[in-house]
């Protein structure tokens, strides 16, 4: 048995292990991994996510147990200090010695900290490890405490990483300032014009940019208080994050005499071997073709090469040219550059498109003979990045009028890039996991995979940076379509239809029970997917309440309450527009007290009462209904809340009565069942305190009426709502909303919010405008009258449930006993109660 020692358990060191294990040759080898950091390898590319959720485990490349399961010994918190090449041993910081047959150096790099005067001051950080992020957060918190003004943070370096860091400090509530030595941002990827556009865009997000600034001192006594550029120039800041490039961690190699680059890095050949053939170097420490590649994809390829070489597969060599294309993530601005972003005149010419009013810049570089795309830059809209990148990578033919590559997408909405299926099978689509187009399409053609999720499970495509997701989705969809296979949007094995089709069938054939639906157009006995879906369709068509056919409802609808962690329920009475009288507040307080319910103000401007046992629900609702409350439908795929700000009733800036209108809208659409939940918001002025643009529909009062926005949401993938109509009066708002909502209800896929629905709608918002405002399909009056009949049919389903003994009888834990569920355990928390934590 031979021993491989891997030094460094970062992204690339981990990938080496993963690829090694995948070859199943590991029985002949023992792998021993040393990592200096205390944690097993984590996804550094997504490091900034740690600020969002503070969840370090979620970033892990694999859990610690994975290493053990695959016979890899992982020793973390242990730095390797020396390599003794003559005895083929290494020693560690606590003087243990281990011998190797092969040594793999994957020590990565460290941030370069320029020797500026004062750089050692408190409040100066780098951005590379989870510990760095923890230190930054902790410092930011102490700065923010008791501070009225947001503290300021500078980021030294306006490259890819610097901008990411700037966004991160901004999200922490600090005022970000990016300081760059060069005259432009992202100097390696962008030209001056695109940098300008990016700068404007960043300014609108609140990120200040200082270009042409050579920082020559960091001022402050103990902690940083500012940066000094020239004699009279500088800025006052409370914190600094240095992001001025990286330096390979090559110290081990230096001391044992391996060949090094003049500016650092361990020299490797195309087998990833160093000057000592039993020592390999991969990732950001390796100097290949006289370059250090600060990206993860080349590192992964290096890992693949090293694994192959060690296992005797000598043909696998590192590619000659390394693709350095990049797309900036996170920041809220699309920025991408690929291939050769700048074009020396002797090699080709550039075609530029710039629209400053829209912060848009697109550039493609074309070979002199007009046949090849050599590179380009996209700022403001990078939707075409994946396709252009593929054209570039695979030397694919381009349109004769090369400007169509960028302008086509602006004039007619779709770029003239042809089908994704035109790219060759060998084209690499997911560079993080080296997945080619063939790897994605072939399993579909052979029938091994039938959906996006199956392709992802098989190939790991999209699981790295995720940038290739749109392209992989297109490839899967188009391949399925080319095989004549339905792109999977039929509902389940019981109904071979889409939701829209089923909606139509039920409407035409007046189907109103699940059994009828099965008999007319289904097969088998139904399942947990089609039953609630049909229930929702019946509700949208006839405004049936869930009481009518309780057993086909999702559990929340079946019991008209949201199930909680321990099987109890929460109770959310409707509080339209968030307005509530003192008497009603007292009632809620009394009910909560009587039934020992935990109360909390929700994110939707109302009050949730948690911990009600199934058999208590009718009594609780009786008390609430007697006091004038109604169901809040918090459990339903239906209208939730219409959030309001206080508006002109009280607010000195209010342009209109936002509360009154929010209440009117909430009353109008309450109980409306839809493909997914619907939320609304009404703000009294453009300060937008009701966050109306984060809702499925939102109104903002402006001079001369309301601006109506549609198709926004919060959640995991926030989307701002888009403007549908401007300066309209209350009546017109309602008319457009009736049409919009009803059209959505008719056509959306199950569990699809309005934002993704709009994305799928051909023609997008302008098409929706045509339908809703200009009535291009001539269905407006039908939509309006359908909506009106649903509104007329509204009844409070809780009132219905408690007044009808048969309906009420379902709210019991035991059918044969009045007892409570004896499995429930509550524990105290602050002044209330919560369910005991799960043990598994």
Partner 1 sequence: METIISTYTSVNEQAVKTWYKAGPVEAFPDNGGVCVKYKDRQIAVFNFKRKNTWYACQNLCPHKLEMVLSRGMIGDANSLPKVACPMHKKTFSLETGENLDGALDAIATYPVKVADNIVYIGFSE
Ligand X SMILES: Cc1cc2nc3c(=O)[nH]c(=O)nc-3n(C[C@H](O)[C@H](O)[C@H](O)COP(=O)(O)OP(=O)(O)OC[C@H]3O[C@@H](n4cnc5c(N)ncnc54)[C@H](O)[C@@H]3O)c2cc1C
558 scored as a contact of partner 1 (CB under 8 A): yes
Q: Answer yes or no whether residue 163 interacts with ligand X by CB under 6 A.
A: no
- The token pair that represents 365 in the structure block: 């570089």
388 lies in the site for ligand X, by CB under 6 A: no
Q: How far apart are CA 752 and CA 767, in angstroms?
A: 19
Q: How far is the CB of 532 from partner 1 (least distance, A)?
A: 8
> Binding pattern to partner 1, positions 583-602, x when CB under 8 A?
--------------------
Q: Which of 19, 88, 128, 673 binds ligand X (CB under 6 A)?
A: 128
Task: Give the CA-trace dihedral at 505, 510, 512, 517, to 10 degrees.
Answer: -40
Regarding 532 and contact with partner 1 (CB under 8 A), the answer is: yes
Cβ proximity to ligand SRM: between 26 and 555 the closer is: 555
265 binds ligand X (CB under 6 A): no
Residue 551 touching partner 1 (CB under 8 A): yes
According to DSSP, the residues that pair with 327 across neighbouring strands are 336
- Our finding on whether 827 is near partner 1 (CB under 8 A) is no
Minimum gap (Å) between residue 834 Cβ and partner 1:
15
Burial 235-259 (b: 16+ CB within 10 A, else e): bebbbbbbbbbbbbbbebbeebebe
To the nearest whole angstrom, how small is the minimum distance from the Cβ of residue 301 to ligand X? 12
Name which position in 271, 329, 507, 622 contacts ligand X (CB under 6 A): 329
**Cα Rg for the chain, rounded, in angstroms?**
31
Question: How many Cα atoms are found within 13 Å in the side-chain-facing hemisphere of 622?
Answer: 10
Any contact of residue 716 with ligand SRM (CB under 6 A)?
A: yes
Rounded Cα–Cα distance for residues 81 and 96 (Å): 10
Q: Which pair of structure tokens corresponds to residue 99?
A: 């011998």
Q: Counting contacts by CB under 6 A, is residue 437 touching ligand SRM?
A: no
Cα–Cα distance for residue pair 731/729, rounded to 1 Å: 6
Q: Please report whether residue 808 would count as binding partner 1 according to CB under 8 A.
A: no
Are residues 572 and 796 in contact, defined by beta-carbon separation less than 8 angstroms? Answer: no
- Chain centroid to Cα 248, Å, comes to 31
Decide: 239 and 224 in contact? Cβ < 8 Å.
yes
89: Cα separation from own chain's centroid:
45
H or E stretch including 354? strand 348-355
Residue in 294, 276, 277 with CA at minimum distance from that of residue 285 = 294
Among 31, 45, 279, 307, binds ligand X (CB under 6 A): 45
Residue 290 CA, chain-centre distance (Å), reads 36
* Residue number with CB closer to partner 1 (407 or 550): 550
Of 291, 527, 686, 793, which one interacts with partner 1 (CB under 8 A)?
A: 527
76 or 564: CB nearest ligand SRM: 564
Q: If DSSP codes are grouped into helix, strand and coil, which group holds residue 248?
A: strand
Q: Which residues contact 395 (CB under 8 A, 6 or more apart)?
A: 372
3-state SS, residue 770 = helix
Q: Is 631 in the site for ligand SRM (CB under 6 A)?
A: no
Measured from each CB, the residue nearest to ligand SRM is 715
Choose which of 551, 715, 792, 822 interacts with ligand SRM (CB under 6 A): 715
E strand or H helix that includes residue 524: none
Q: Is 417 in the site for ligand X (CB under 6 A)?
A: no
Residues 733-762 that bind ligand SRM (CB under 6 A): 753
Q: Which two tokens stand for residue 337?
A: 């550059």
Query: What are the distances in angstroms from CA 548 to CA 21, 125, 258, 538, 800?
Result: 56, 62, 78, 10, 10
For 451, the token pair is 């959906």
Q: Work out which of 120, 822, 825, 830 binds partner 1, going by CB under 8 A.
A: 822
How far is residue 672 from each of residues 138, 633, 638, 786, 803, measured CA to CA in Å? 46, 9, 5, 12, 21
Minimum Å gap between C-beta 613 and ligand SRM is 14
* Residue 5 bridge partners (DSSP): 32, 103
Round to whole Å and give the CA distance between 570 and 299: 50
Nearest Cα neighbor of 161 from 246, 104, 100, 78 is 246
Interface with ligand X includes 159 (CB under 6 A)? no
The residue within the footprint of ligand X, chosen from 157, 264, 283, 532 (CB under 6 A), is: 283
Cβ atoms of residues 174 and 143 within 8 Å: yes
Residue 260 backbone dihedrals phi, psi, to 5 degrees: -120, 160
Here the tokens at position 686 are 């453009």
What string marks each residue from 486 to 525 as x (binds partner 1 by CB under 8 A) or -? Answer: -------xx-------------------xx--x-----xx
Member of 17, 19, 44, 415 binding ligand X (CB under 6 A): 44
Q: Which is nearer to ligand SRM, 178 or 678 (CB)?
A: 678
Coil, strand, or helix at residue 642? strand
For the chain, the residue count is 840
Query: Could you tell me where the DSSP H helices lie in 23-122?
Result: 49-53, 56-59, 64-69
DSSP state of 683: E
**Is 810 one of the binding residues for partner 1 (CB under 8 A)?**
yes
Instruction: List the interface residues with ligand SRM, window 603-622 (CB under 6 A).
Output: 603-604, 606, 608
For ligand SRM (CB under 6 A), the number of binding residues is 21
* Token pair in block for residue 616: 């208590």
Among ligand X, partner 1, ligand SRM, none, residue 659 binds (CB under 5-8 Å by kind): none
The site partner of 10 among partner 1, ligand SRM, ligand X, none (C-beta below 5 to 8 Å per kind) is ligand X
Ranges within 564-583 binding ligand SRM (CB under 6 A) = 564, 570, 572
* Of residues 323 and 666, the one with the C-beta less far from ligand SRM: 666
One symbol per residue from 453 to 482: x for binding ligand X (CB under 6 A), - otherwise; what is it? ------------x-----------------
Minimum separation from the CB atom of position 565 to partner 1 (A): 8
**In the complex, least distance from residue 603 CB atom to ligand SRM, rounded to whole angstroms:** 3
Q: Which two tokens stand for residue 91?
A: 């020693």
Structure tokens at 391: 């054209």
* 528 sits near partner 1 (criterion: CB under 8 A): yes
- Whether residue 462 contacts residue 456, with contact meaning beta carbons closer than 8 Å, is answered with yes
Name which position in 20, 127, 280, 669 contacts ligand X (CB under 6 A): 127
296 binds ligand X (CB under 6 A): yes
721 touching ligand SRM, by CB under 6 A: no
567 binds partner 1 (CB under 8 A): yes
Q: How far is the CB of 57 from partner 1 (least distance, A)?
A: 19
Please identify, among the stretches 130-138, 435-443, 714-722, 768-776, the one whose residues bind ligand SRM according to the rule CB under 6 A.
714-722
730, containing H or E segment: helix 730-747
How many angstroms separate the CA atoms of 411 and 401, rounded?
A: 14
Is 65 a binding residue for partner 1 by CB under 8 A? The answer is: no
Q: How far is the CB of 571 from partner 1 (least distance, A)?
A: 17
Q: Is 544 in the site for partner 1 (CB under 8 A)?
A: no
Stretch that binds partner 1, among 427-435, 562-570, 583-591, 699-707 (CB under 8 A): 562-570
Phi-psi region of 525 (alpha: psi -120 to 50; beta: other; left: phi over 0): alpha
Among residues 213, 558, 679, 693, which is the contact residue for ligand SRM, using CB under 6 A? 679
674 binding ligand SRM? (CB under 6 A): no
Judged by CB under 8 A, the chain residues 605 through 644 that form the site for partner 1 are: 614
What residue ranges bind ligand SRM (CB under 6 A)? Answer: 562, 564, 570, 572, 600, 602-604, 606, 608, 634, 640-641, 643, 679, 713-717, 753
What residue ranges bind partner 1 (CB under 8 A)? Answer: 493-494, 514-515, 518, 524-528, 530-532, 550-552, 554-555, 558-559, 563, 565-567, 614, 810, 812-817, 819, 821-823, 838-840
What residue ranges bind ligand X (CB under 6 A)? Answer: 7-13, 34-37, 44-45, 47-48, 79-80, 106-108, 127-128, 161, 164, 249, 252, 283-284, 294-297, 299, 329, 465
């Amino acid at each position: 048995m031979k021993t491989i020692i891997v030094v460094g358990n970062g992204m690339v060191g981990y990938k080496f292990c993963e690829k090694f294990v995948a070859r199943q040759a590991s029985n002949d080898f023992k792998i021993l991994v040393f990592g200096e950091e205390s944690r097993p390898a984590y996804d550094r590319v997504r490091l900034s996510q740690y600020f969002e959720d503070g969840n370090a485990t979620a970033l892990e490349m694999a859990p610690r147990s994975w290493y053990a399961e695959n016979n890899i010994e992982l020793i973390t918190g242990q730095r390797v200090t020396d390599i003794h090449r003559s005895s083929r041993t290494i020693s560690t910081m606590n003087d243990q010695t281990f011998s190797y047959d092969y040594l793999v150096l994957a020590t990565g790099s460290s941030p370069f900290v320029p020797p500026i005067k004062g750089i050692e001051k408190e409040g100066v950080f780098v951005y590379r490890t989870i510990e760095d992020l923890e230190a930054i957060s902790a410092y930011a918190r102490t700065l923010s405490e008791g501070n009225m003004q947001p503290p300021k943070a500078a980021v030294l370096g306006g490259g890819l990483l610097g901008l990411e860091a700037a966004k991160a400090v901004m999200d922490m509530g600090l005022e970000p300032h990016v300081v760059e030595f060069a005259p432009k941002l992202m100097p390696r990827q962008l030209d001056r014009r695109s940098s300008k556009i990016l700068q404007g865009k960043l300014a609108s997000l609140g990120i200040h940019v200082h270009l042409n600034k050579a920082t020559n001192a960091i001022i402050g006594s103990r902690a940083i208080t500012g940066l000094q550029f020239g004699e009279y120039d500088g800025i006052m800041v409370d914190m600094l994050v240095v992001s001025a490039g990286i330096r390979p961690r090559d110290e081990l190699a230096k001391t044992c005499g391996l060949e090094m680059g003049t500016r650092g890095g361990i020299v490797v050949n195309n087998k990833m071997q160093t000057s000592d053939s039993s020592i390999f170097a991969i990732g950001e420490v390796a100097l290949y073709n006289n370059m250090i590649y600060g990206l993860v994809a080349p590192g992964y390829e290096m890992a693949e090469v090293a694994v192959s070489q060690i296992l005797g597969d000598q043909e696998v060599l590192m590619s000659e040219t390394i693709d350095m294309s990049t797309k900036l993530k996170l920041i809220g601005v699309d920025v991408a550059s690929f291939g050769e972003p700048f074009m020396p005149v002797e090699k080709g010419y550039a075609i530029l498109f710039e629209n400053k009013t829209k912060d848009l810049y697109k550039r493609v570089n074309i070979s002199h003979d007009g046949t090849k795309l050599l590179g380009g830059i996209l700022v403001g809209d990078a939707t075409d990045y994946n396709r252009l990148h593929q054209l570039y990578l695979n030397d694919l033919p381009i349109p004769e009028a090369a400007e169509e590559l960028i302008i086509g997408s602006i004039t007619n909405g779709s770029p003239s890039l042809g089908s994704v299926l035109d790219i060759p099978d060998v084209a690499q689509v997911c560079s993080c996991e080296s997945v080619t187009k063939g790897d994605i399409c072939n399993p579909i053609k052979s029938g091994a995979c039938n959906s996006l999720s199956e392709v992802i499970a098989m190939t790991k495509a999209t699981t790295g940076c995720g940038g290739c997701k749109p392209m992989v989705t297109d490839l899967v969809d188009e391949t399925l379509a080319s095989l004549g296979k339905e792109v999977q949007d039929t509902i389940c094995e019981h109904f071979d239809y889409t939701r829209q089709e089923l909606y139509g069938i039920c409407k035409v054939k007046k189907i109103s029970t699940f059994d009828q639906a099965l008999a007319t157009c289904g097969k088998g006995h139904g399942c947990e997917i089609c039953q609630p879906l049909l229930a929702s369709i019946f509700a949208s068509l006839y405004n049936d309440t869930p009481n009518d056919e309780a057993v086909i409802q999702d559990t929340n609808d079946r019991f008209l309450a949201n199930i909680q962690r321990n099987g109890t329920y929460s109770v959310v009475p409707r509080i339209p527009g968030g307005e509530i009288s003192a008497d009603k507040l007292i009632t809620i307080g009394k009910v909560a007290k009587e039934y020992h319910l935990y109360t909390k103000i929700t994110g939707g401007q109302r009050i949730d009462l948690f911990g009600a046992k199934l058999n208590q629900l009718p009594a609780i609702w009786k008390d609430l209904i007697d006091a004038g409350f109604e169901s809040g439908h918090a459990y339903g795929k239906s209208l939730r809340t219409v959030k309001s700000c206080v508006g002109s009733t009280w607010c000195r800036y209010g342009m209109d009565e936002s509360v009154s209108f929010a209440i009117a809208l909430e009353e109008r659409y309450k109980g409306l069942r839809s493909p997914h939940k619907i939320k609304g918001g009404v703000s009294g002025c453009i300060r937008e305190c009701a966050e109306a643009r984060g809702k499925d529909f939102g109104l903002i009062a402006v001079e001369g009426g309301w601006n109506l926005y549609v198709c926004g949401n919060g959640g995991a993938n926030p989307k701002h709502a888009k403007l549908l109509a401007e300066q309209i009066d209350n009546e017109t708002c309602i008319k457009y909303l009736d049409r919009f909502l009803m059209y959505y209800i008719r056509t959306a896929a199950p569990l699809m919010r309005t934002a993704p629905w709009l994305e799928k709608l051909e023609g997008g918002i302008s098409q929706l405008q045509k339908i809703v405002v200009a009535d291009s399909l001539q269905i407006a009056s039908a939509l309006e009258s359908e909506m009106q009949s649903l509104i007329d049919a509204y009844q409070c389903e809780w009132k219905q449930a408690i007044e009808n003994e048969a309906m009420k009888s379902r709210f019991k834990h035991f059918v044969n006993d009045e007892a409570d569920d004896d499995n429930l355990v509550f524990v105290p928390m602050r002044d209330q109660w919560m369910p005991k934590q799960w043990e598994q």
